[in-house]
Amino acid sequence: MNPSRNEPCPCGSGKKYKHCCEGKQSVAKLAAAELNQLGMLVNTGQFAVVETRASDLLQQYPDEAGLWKLLAIALQMQGKSGLAAFERAALLLPSDAGAHMNLGNALQGVGRLEEAVQSYQRALAIKPTFAEAHNNLGASFAALGQYEAAIASYRRAVQIKPDFAAAHSGLGGALRHLEQWPEAVVSYRRAIKLQPDLAETHNDLGVTLRDLGQFDQAVTSYRQALRIQPDDAAVLSNLGVVLRDLGRLDEAVTSFRQALAIRPDDAETLS
């Protein structure tokens, strides 16, 4: 049985119950009811409703981390900035690896890469086997041009989760930037085997195969990328380049024209 509101709080804080744990119990009731309902609304894509209700509830429960997380997701899914809400959730949940990773993702999305690295590292200090955080840390390192660090992070991600296609693809990209082309090809092919519809990875594999002088295989990779994403001007341009390398000039011209029809101001294709 709970004490009356003006009695000392049983937690031993020395405060009256109404100024201490009464509010926490209200939050617990909120978590059991409203948070579950809001979570279901997120799952059904009703993000504007979640934004409104979570914002209203935060006026009453400003320290409810779950509300901040749901608000952040709702904002993000509407193309709005959820960064401040992710920051608040991570502050309220210092031991929650997922909260720190979500913050890292938001920071990465706005180009604050050094801060994103710090958030991912906090997540991994809490949960060292968090494959997704290792992968996203690798992506931040790669965006910063720190490819050796990126390779280490991607390798850890695929060690923990061998079927992680995105991490294999990211590893391939970091290896390619260091001109470790044969190893990059192996990583790209692993990613494609796990997830054949990765158009960008097929394209990157094509680029790497061209670097290795394997022009026919590069054509195959580019064409596979275009089967998945037919209107990708960059891939059409890349295909044109390798067809030109092979002396298949009519096909190259066709590919370049298709690229320019999609992206008329593409200086690289025009050159």
d(CA 22, CA 17): 6
Instruction: Please provide residue 16's backbone torsions phi and psi, each rounded to the nearest 5 degrees.
Output: -70, 150
- E strand intervals along the chain: none
Overall pTM surpassing 0.85 (yes/no): no
Q: Which segments in the chain show pLDDT lower than 50?
A: 1-2, 9-13, 17-26
Q: What pLDDT was estimated at residue 15?
A: 54
Q: What pLDDT was estimated at residue 35?
A: 84
Q: What pLDDT was estimated at residue 64?
A: 87
Q: What pLDDT was estimated at residue 268?
A: 60
Q: What pLDDT was estimated at residue 20?
A: 47
Q: Which residues contact 69 (CB under 8 A, 6 or more apart)?
A: 85, 86, 89, 99, 102
Residue 66, CA atoms < 13 Å, CB-side half-sphere: 15
Q: What pLDDT was estimated at residue 13?
A: 45
> Cβ distance 260 to 269 under 8 Å?
yes
Q: What pLDDT was estimated at residue 21?
A: 47
Q: What pLDDT was estimated at residue 257?
A: 95
Q: What pLDDT was estimated at residue 130?
A: 98
Q: What pLDDT was estimated at residue 9?
A: 45
